[in-house]
Amino acid sequence: MTIYKTSTGVILEILRIPRSLIDAYAHNNPTPEPPTIEVPGFGGVPNQVENLEDQTYLAQLNLYNLTMAQLEFDLVVQAVNILDPDWKTDLRVADMISIGIPIDSTHEYLRYIALTDAVDLGNVTEEFLYLSTVTDRGIKEAEQAFGIEWQGAPLRKHSNPPGRLRAASVYQSRVAATSLGYTWEQFCELPGPDQSAAVAQYQATCKVEYLASEERKT
Amino acid sequence: MQIIKREPQQITVVTANGTELVCVPVRTLPIQDLMFKIGLPSRITDSANATEISEALQRGSSAQQMDAIKASMALFNYCMAYGVTTNPPEEAVEELKSLGLAPRTLPALRATWLNYMVLEDTEEASLLAGIVMGVTKTSNEQAKEQAKPTPVKPE
């Protein structure tokens, strides 16, 4: 749990939310695909390339980004408690009501009064993600805590094994979870920093094995 | 409505009835939400356009249209309350009070004054909202530009 004061003077308590909500947010809303167009390639062979300037695609992308922003805000609302002030007595609520914006729930209060600054929203989002799921920040913190060095340099400074496999980060989390003896459900119950530490442990173990195998080759 | 002065963080306009108004950036997130409710998500960061807003308001069921109209009124009012820093003159406040229309808070008072005594019609209101959203967009772009790290040349 983290206490955060917004630039609008509202004190929020940021909590973790179930990881499944974040995964659903990320995976249930696929990014729109750009259309392809045929362009003449080398030697006259036609090539199919993505048309990133297509107006319909740009409109879909814009709508997608805004829809995701709305959904993200719904997640934020679930992750915060308003500690101070009591939102029902905040004078700014009366202001909003008098210009036709009804503030009748914490959702509306956060949207129109407490979290109107993009920097605040970004900070709150980063924090609840850190508390709820695997994040780069959590992984870096765990790596620092592990203090693993290889040939006198931190592990992060060594190059990663060349990989041809591409997968979503949830796959790596699942592999990390099962390789450390957790069921996926148990893993999802862990606080975000613990999930990140598990992934960091898995990554570090893989990397050390790779570096050792490279050393044996030479 | 005419723009008479354009600065990075504010635009000064003169309305059809000759009132000079200073427009400043507003918070983006409430604007986004209201535009989303109107049904104009693809134009959220652009200036509002009266024709597009009225077309958007005509789409959907009666209930959806009512919600969209409420949202568009709220959008105009939000821009007028927080995106205009010029306060109503004393005599205008007195007049609004005599009509029973003077809200207690300054942002709401500004919106009421503009709606009842300054702006001629919806077209002018949407132009003013558009100018506020435009200056908001410019201001956000400048903030993003300033936030970019300056490349450091190697010695």
Q: Indicate the domain borders of chain A.
A: 2-33+59-131, 134-217
- Choose, out of A7, A73, A101, the residue to mutate when testing the contact with B (most B CBs < 10 Å): A101
**Residue B155 above 50 pLDDT?**
no
Minimum Cα–Cα distance from B147: chain A residue: A119
**Residue B46 above 70 pLDDT?**
no
- Choose, out of B26, B96, B101, B105, the residue to mutate when testing the contact with A (most A CBs < 10 Å): B105
Q: Which of A59, A63, A117 sits opposite B27 (nearest CB)?
A: A117
What pLDDT was estimated at residue B149? 57
For range B122-132, the mean pLDDT: 90
- Helix, coil or strand: residue A81: strand
Contacts of A15 (CB under 8 A, 6+ apart): A1, A79, A80, A81, A128, A131
Burial A95-117 (b: 16+ CB within 10 A, else e): bbebbbbebeeeebbbbbbbbbe
Inter-chain CB proximity B108 and A111 less than 8 Å: no
Q: How far is CA A103 from the centre of its chain?
A: 29
Phi-psi region of B13 (alpha: psi -120 to 50; beta: other; left: phi over 0): beta
Instruction: Kindly tell me the burial class for residue B80, based on how many C-beta atoms sit within 10 Å of its own C-beta (0-12, 13-18, 19 or more).
Output: buried
What pLDDT was estimated at residue A85? 84
**Residue B48 above 60 pLDDT?**
no
ipTM: 0.73
- Minimal C-alpha gap between A37 and chain B (Å): 24
Inter-chain CB proximity A111 and B111 less than 8 Å: no
Minimum Cα–Cα distance from A91: chain B residue: B105
CA A198, A73, A119, A106 torsion: positive or negative?
negative
Taking alpha carbons only, the member of A10, A27, A128 closest to residue A68 is A27
Minimum Cα–Cα distance from B110: chain A residue: A99
- Please report which confidence band the pLDDT of residue B45 belongs to, taking 50, 70 and 90 as the band edges: very low
- Helix, coil or strand: residue A148: coil
pLDDT 10s per residue in chain A (218 long)? 899 999 999 999 999 999 888 888 878 888 889 999 888 887 778 888 888 888 888 888 888 888 888 888 999 999 999 998 888 888 889 888 888 888 999 999 999 999 998 889 999 999 999 999 999 999 999 999 999 988 889 888 888 877 777 777 888 899 999 988 999 999 999 999 999 999 999 989 888 888 888 888 87
- Helix, coil or strand: residue A94: helix
Indicate the pTM of the whole model: 0.78
**Residue B44 above 50 pLDDT?**
no
| Whole-number Å distance between alpha carbons of B9 and B140 | 10
- Please report which confidence band the pLDDT of residue B56 belongs to, taking 50, 70 and 90 as the band edges: low
Instruction: Kindly tell me the burial class for residue B21, based on how many C-beta atoms sit within 10 Å of its own C-beta (0-12, 13-18, 19 or more).
Output: buried
- Residue boundaries of the structural domains of chain B: 2-135
What pLDDT was estimated at residue A177? 92
| Whole-number Å distance between alpha carbons of B115 and B105 | 16
- Please report which confidence band the pLDDT of residue B3 belongs to, taking 50, 70 and 90 as the band edges: very high
Find the angle CA(A11)-CA(A14)-CA(A17) to the nearest 5 degrees: 155
Burial B38-58 (b: 16+ CB within 10 A, else e): bbbbbbbbebbebebbeebbe
| Pair of tokens at residue A68 | 């995701």
